[in-house]
Amino acid sequence: MSAILQNVSTSLSASTSTFVGHNNLKVIKPSHVSMAGRMSAVVKCVASPSAEKTAYKTNVARNENLAKLQAGYLFPEIARRRNAHIAKNPDAKVISLGIGDTTEPIPEVITSAMSKRSEVLSTVAGYSGYGAEQGEQKLRAAIASTYYAGLGIEENDIFVSDGAKSDISRLQVLFGSNVTMAVQDPSYPAYVDSSVILGQTGLFQKDVEKYANIEYMRCTPENGFFPDLSTVRRTDIIFFCSPNNPTGSAASREQLTKLVQFAKENGSIIVYDSAYAMYVSDDSPRSIFEIPGAKEVSLEVSSFSKYAGFTGVRLGWTAIPKELHYSDGFPVAKDFNRIVCTCFNGASNIAQAGGLACVSPEGIKAMHEVVGFYKENTAIIVDTFNSLGFKVYGGKNAPYVWVHFPGRSSWDVFSEILEKTHVVTTPGSGFGPGGEGFVRVSAFGHRENVIEACRRFKELYK
Amino acid sequence: MYTSLAFSFMPYKTILSPRASITTQDNKNVYRTKVSRNPTMEKLQYNYLFPEISEREAQHAKKYPNAKIISLGIGDTTEPLPDVVASSMANYAYSLSTRTGYRGYGAEQGSKDLRKAIAETFYKDMGIQGAEVFVSDGAQCDISRLQMLFGSNMSIAVQDPIFPAYIDSSVIIGQTGDVEQGSGRYQNIEYMRCDPHHNFFPDLSKTARTDIIFFCSPNNPTGHAASWEQLEQLVKLAQENGSIIVYDSAYAVYITDGSPRSIYEIPGAKKVAIEVSSFSKIAGFTGVRLGWTVVPKELLYSNGFPVINDFNRIICTCFNGASRIAQAGGLASLSSEGFKSVMSLVDYYKSNAEILLETFESLGLKAYGGVNAPYLWVHFPGSNSWDVFNEILEKTHIITVPGSGFGPAGKEYIRVTAFGHRENILEASDRLRSLLL
């Protein structure tokens, strides 16, 4: 297998990735987007073969869990390809509908709270140092009352974080290496990758594109993007994202009731990712805790990233009910609290000031406007692909459109779209084998760019 | 001299509040999942040290609602941010509400400008490039991310006494055995005793080989800054044993006496060491959250794989970058005006430390540290540090940190921080004098 060595200094630029992939997009074999990770001697940052032999090595063994990972994390890879494309086509106007990165300014009611907080930190009366690791009490209370009113989730059940991605890994540290997990297939890659890193999985099986010991719950148009639970093996942890990234599907009350029942029967814990809940347009549940009995079997992770454009500001939360207990009766929240106190030191106080403004009445209204804007984008993208005769999923309850390209490799389609329209998307197989044959188009973008991208799609696929 | 003072000791059986444990009796009717509690979490004997101190402060405040409690316990900065730093963050926050200024996800490794500024400010002439600097939301988070990087099959060595995060994160990630009831030490951790009699540096000839060696200098809690010769020995040991040093230099800017500020001042260190640091005690960013970790390109695992590649993967998967606003503040604090202003705050705390050193000296107590770090390590021979902590708290309403919270070698010591408003430092000094004279 040939792999192109990448000099560490370039591969660690702004959108870096340890993905030793191919620079020539046309030769990508979509089922072999793995790097020669196990051939670790090949991936060295020394300049010449002779230097390789004499380079000092410590006697510390590489963590074999890291070696199990097949490629770099998905999104830095998308960024790398976008940047390579821009470099190759300096005059092209590249439009990014790939990484789900917000583009619209944060409402002033929110940024002014952060500005104010920054200034207050320069005053004697207003300066504050370490905050509570679990988050500022006012913010915890406001999150509980805004998102969990009437659901029995209180302020002390809320742990404020620097974002869902960090929390997912902290939850994996909490659970440890001896737990089994299930994920939707396709799914946001952080669940699987963090599971591998923590040592919960076996090796990657190339033929099926799955890690051993993870239960992949296939979600397809045929099953309404909800797994057939009768075919799902018991695992300790079930990761479930709804509205879903990448398929855009929001589970119904009925489906979530089944999921909670399944967890109850199996004694499992659901990690429910509700980062896109504010995008729900119909009466699909916005929180797992809307389902009776859920508090005994689930915890919920969420984020201000896609509500308030906080992707760079960094703020989210995890809600852990008091009713959630391990098999020995120990409350999960107590151990998570210990993790948060030891492995974390609280979200930035300035970001938290912004968060408090987000959940003020004016802030909530402002967030709905931002969310509404992206939902309009989504509708435009959905219409475009519908009009071109594609089977299109998602797009109603989430800022993602899941477009079917039957019989085609998703990386090939990704490349084709990038080469011919200069639009970046995300290939479905990056989200798991269940994503093969699909491309995810994200709806974050300036309106004119979304319209232009759609115009180009129409040109390409007319 | 101390033992002649009238001090009543209440014997304390538990060092820290033991962690909540559940018996089957407590939760008979409560639904339990079938998910086993992570056995590594069960190994942790006590609550994390600093929330425990906070809890005691809160209890004391309840007991004495009119007391003016002075906190010289948790090392929390107290002085306002310099205007140039605060306004840079205020302006950056505001710019996020403009079309041209709005930014979404940043590079997980941190902004290029900031990485470069850190390399140039702290690692000038040491051959560390911006590409080897990873900006974080603080050293405590990075320590755990490093543990995730290393995995559970690692052996670690720590100084004794030491800032507890290295040990606790090691237990959590599964590198250790159970705690030994008598000593409070975890099996499979190599504790490197650091005593005043040996210049607060371990006897490396007695140190068993471990994969990782955590080394904090200037040290929290003892305040000792390792000398060039000592660090040279440490690097040599790491080379001989093929170990990786994780060097915590969070207090480097407090050094007064020319001791090394970075492990990379030692030749050969880039091949054996990672360095972790933080803006917390440099710029008062304890609540703002910003730090960094340096992983040199030359640092290789035994199979030749660069550690930096795997750390980068961790950062991209388990993290999403430090807050852009905090990074803007970090950059401002490294500008020429900004750096001058944050250094003057550091000087302020250093002057606090001098005052406290004088106070303890005048009382005939041996206080170590306080010269290269914002911590004093005060010896109360023959005592139990929790008893001393409680006595000081009860009688002077001053919060300190009992030395045994940092490891068994801290048993007879109290850590006193130099962070505080000047008037509180002076007031605390008066109270200590009236108590102990």
B324: confidence class by pLDDT, cuts 50, 70, 90: very high
Enumerate the residues of chain B whose CB falls inside 8 A of the CB of residue A449.
Answer: none
- Distances in Å between the Cα of B80 and the Cα atoms of A104, A117, A132, B281, B348 are 32, 12, 19, 12, 12
Cβ distance of A18 and B299 shorter than 8 Å:
no
On the CB side of B232, how many CA atoms lie within 13 Å of its CA?
5
In contact, B374 and B417? CB cutoff 8 Å: yes
pLDDT for position B26: 54
Average pLDDT over chain A reads 91
Enumerate the residues of chain A whose CB falls inside 8 A of the CB of residue B242.
Answer: 57-60
A277 and A220 part of one domain: yes
Dihedral over Cα of A116, A118, A120, A125: its sign: positive
A171 and A99 part of one domain: no
> What percent helix, strand, coil does chain B show, rounded to 5?
45, 15, 45
Token readout for B382 is 């023959």
Task: Name the burial class of residue B18, with classes exposed (0-12), middle (13-18) and buried (19+) by CB atoms within 10 angstroms of its CB.
Answer: exposed
Enumerate the residues of chain B whose CB falls inside 8 A of the CB of residue A103.
Answer: 102, 104
Mutate to test the interface with B, among A53, A97, A117, A122 (most CBs of B within 10 A): A122
pLDDT for position B47: 82
In contact, B211 and B155? CB cutoff 8 Å: yes
A240 and A290 part of one domain: yes
Among all chains, which residue has been given the structure tokens 């299930």? A182
Print the domain residue range for A424: 2-104+364-461
- Distances in Å between the Cα of B286 and the Cα atoms of A115, B12, B141, B320 are 18, 32, 13, 19
- Distances in Å between the Cα of B213 and the Cα atoms of A37, B89, B198, B216, B303 are 27, 36, 19, 10, 19
Q: Is A55 in the B-facing interface, judged by CB distances under 8 Å? A: yes
Interval B311-339 mean pLDDT: 98
In contact, A72 and A19? CB cutoff 8 Å: yes
Interval A334-344 mean pLDDT: 97
Residue of A175, A267, A325 lying closest to B27 (CB–CB): A325
Least CA distance to A54: which residue of chain B?
B304
B11: confidence class by pLDDT, cuts 50, 70, 90: very low
How far A198 CA lies from chain B's nearest CA (Å)?
7
Interval B386-403 mean pLDDT: 96
The enclosing domain of A277 has a CATH number of 3.40.640.10
Cβ distance of B35 and A346 shorter than 8 Å:
no
Residue of A13, A115, A342 lying closest to B90 (CB–CB): A115
Interval A371-398 mean pLDDT: 98
pLDDT for position B16: 52
Look at residue B245 and give its three-state secondary structure.
strand
pLDDT for position A85: 96
Express as a percent the part of chain A with pLDDT over 70. 89
Domain boundary among A332, A361, A390: A361
E strand or H helix at B314: helix B307-318
Range name among A72-76, A117-121, A418-422 with the lowest pLDDT average? A72-76
Domain boundary among A329, A361, A393: A361
Interval A352-378 mean pLDDT: 98
Enumerate the residues of chain B whose CB falls inside 8 A of the CB of residue A177.
Answer: 152, 174
Residue of A66, A103, A165 lying closest to B313 (CB–CB): A66
| pLDDT reading at A29 higher than 80 | no
| pLDDT reading at A30 higher than 60 | no
| pLDDT reading at B6 higher than 70 | no
Cβ distance of A73 and B241 shorter than 8 Å:
no
| pLDDT reading at B13 higher than 50 | no
Enumerate the residues of chain A whose CB falls inside 8 A of the CB of residue B267.
Answer: none
Nearest to A289 by CA among A280, A298, A281: A298
Chain A segment 116-175 residues within 8 A of B by beta carbon are 116, 118-119, 121-124, 126-131, 133, 162-163, 165-166, 168-169, 173-175
pLDDT for position A13: 39
DSSP assignment of A217-241 equals EE--TTTTTS--GGGPPP-SEEEEE
| Structural domains in chain A (count) | 2
CA B232 centroid distance within chain: 22
> Tens digits of per-residue pLDDT, B56-100?
999 999 999 999 999 999 999 999 999 999 999 999 999 999 999
Domain boundary among A361, A383, A410: A361
Enumerate the residues of chain B whose CB falls inside 8 A of the CB of residue A56.
Answer: 239, 271, 298, 300
Nearest to A23 by CA among A46, A9, A39, A7: A7
Interval A300-325 mean pLDDT: 98
- Distances in Å between the Cα of B188 and the Cα atoms of B163, B176, B177 are 18, 5, 6
Interval A185-202 mean pLDDT: 98
Range name among A68-77, A200-209, A444-453 with the lowest pLDDT average? A68-77
Interval B313-332 mean pLDDT: 98
pLDDT for position B30: 87
Beta strands in A304-356 (DSSP E): 316-319
A306 and A292 part of one domain: yes
A246 and A341 part of one domain: yes
Enumerate the residues of chain A whose CB falls inside 8 A of the CB of residue B308.
Answer: 8, 12, 45
Beta partners for A404? A438
| pLDDT reading at B10 higher than 60 | no
The enclosing domain of A426 has a CATH number of 3.90.1150.10
pLDDT for position A1: 37
Helices within A344-446 (DSSP H only): 349-358, 361-387, 410-421
Give dist(CA B205, CA B226) in Å, integer: 17
Cβ distance of A179 and B74 shorter than 8 Å:
no
A256 and A319 part of one domain: yes
pLDDT for position A78: 93
Residue B404 per-residue DSSP state = G
Contacts of B11 (CB under 8 A, 6+ apart): B384, B387
Enumerate the residues of chain B whose CB falls inside 8 A of the CB of residue A44.
Answer: 300, 304-306
B129: confidence class by pLDDT, cuts 50, 70, 90: very high
| pLDDT reading at A222 higher than 50 | yes
A357 and A381 part of one domain: no
Is the peptide bond preceding residue A186 cis, with omega within 30 degrees of 0?
A: yes
How far B206 CA lies from chain A's nearest CA (Å)?
19
Cβ distance of B151 and A65 shorter than 8 Å:
yes
Enumerate the residues of chain A whose CB falls inside 8 A of the CB of residue B47.
Answer: 338, 341
Interval B234-242 mean pLDDT: 98
Enumerate the residues of chain A whose CB falls inside 8 A of the CB of residue B165.
Answer: 342
CB atoms within 10 A of CB A102: 24
Enumerate the residues of chain B whose CB falls inside 8 A of the CB of residue A339.
Answer: 41, 172
In contact, B321 and A101? CB cutoff 8 Å: no
| pLDDT reading at A410 higher than 60 | yes
Cβ distance of B96 and A106 shorter than 8 Å:
yes
> Tens digits of per-residue pLDDT, A231-240?
999 999 999 9
Residue of B83, B138, B317 lying closest to A73 (CB–CB): B317
Cβ distance of A99 and B140 shorter than 8 Å:
no
On the CB side of B387, how many CA atoms lie within 13 Å of its CA?
14
A338 and A379 part of one domain: no
pLDDT for position B435: 86
Range name among A40-49, A283-292, B391-400 with the lowest pLDDT average? A40-49
pLDDT for position B54: 92
pLDDT for position A50: 52
Interval A432-454 mean pLDDT: 98
Range name among A72-81, A214-223, B264-273 with the lowest pLDDT average? A72-81
pLDDT for position B19: 58
| pLDDT reading at B17 higher than 80 | no
How far A249 CA lies from chain B's nearest CA (Å)?
24
Interval B149-175 mean pLDDT: 97
Interval B254-259 mean pLDDT: 96
A52: confidence class by pLDDT, cuts 50, 70, 90: low
Residue of B78, B238, B310 lying closest to A129 (CB–CB): B78
A119 and A100 part of one domain: no
Task: Name the burial class of residue B379, with classes exposed (0-12), middle (13-18) and buried (19+) by CB atoms within 10 angstroms of its CB.
Answer: middle
| pLDDT reading at A192 higher than 90 | yes
pLDDT for position B29: 77
For chain B, what's the residue count?
437
pLDDT for position B27: 54
Look at residue A331 and give its three-state secondary structure.
strand
Dihedral over Cα of A415, A209, A276, B316: its sign: negative
Give dist(CA A333, CA A318) in Å, integer: 10
First-last CA distance in chain B: 11
Residue of B33, B104, B309 lying closest to A268 (CB–CB): B33
Helices within A121-268 (DSSP H only): 137-147, 164-175, 190-197, 253-266
Q: Is A347 in the B-facing interface, judged by CB distances under 8 Å? A: yes
Look at residue B286 and give its three-state secondary structure.
coil
A393 and A372 part of one domain: yes
CB atoms within 10 A of CB A2: 7
B18: confidence class by pLDDT, cuts 50, 70, 90: low
Q: Is A50 in the B-facing interface, judged by CB distances under 8 Å? A: no
Q: What is the pTM of this model?
A: 0.92
pLDDT for position B353: 98
| pLDDT reading at A62 higher than 70 | yes
Least CA distance to B150: which residue of chain A?
A63
Dihedrals φ, ψ of B104, to 5°?
A: -95, -130
A82 and A113 part of one domain: no
A374 and A339 part of one domain: no
Give dist(CA A350, CA B85) in Å, integer: 13
